[in-house]
Amino acid sequence: MTMINPQNPLIIQSDRTLLLEVANPLFAEARDAISSFADLLKSPEYIHTYRITPLSLWNAASTGMGEGEILGILEKYAKYGVPEMIRKEIEDTVRRFGLLQLISDEGRLYLVTEDPLLLKEIWGYRSVR
């Protein structure tokens, strides 16, 4: 069940676009929170537009943010709740962060992972061998 909070400043669209109402009393607080995992696209007078991208989520994950923290922020400021599709995309993207590491050793590059299935999948690409 989606909670409707008309006093909240954030509208979350299914294309990962976030619309933030500038005139809302929670604007500055919400802006500071969402800017840690979403990119500002436009900032006209009344509505600021942000976009959540895989790269913006990975940047957030690299600072230690998890999917729970990101979803918690969205839930806190959302006017109409977080669409299930957005929730799943955030969870899937952030959980993949750090599964692979590129290590340089004596002039060679190595892909390192603790997931044997992922390693097998990657090994299937000719360009990696």
pLDDT tens per residue, range 30-71: 999 999 999 999 999 999 999 999 999 999 999 999 999 999
Residues 83 and 104 in one domain: no
pTM: 0.83
Q: Provide the domain count of the chain.
A: 2
Give the integer Cα–Cα distance in Å for 114 and 129: 18
128 — pLDDT class (breaks 50, 70, 90):
confident
Domain that holds residue 129: 99-129
1 — pLDDT class (breaks 50, 70, 90):
low
Residues 21 and 84 in one domain: yes
Residues 69 and 113 in one domain: no
Q: Is 20 helix (H, G, I), strand (E, B) or coil?
A: strand
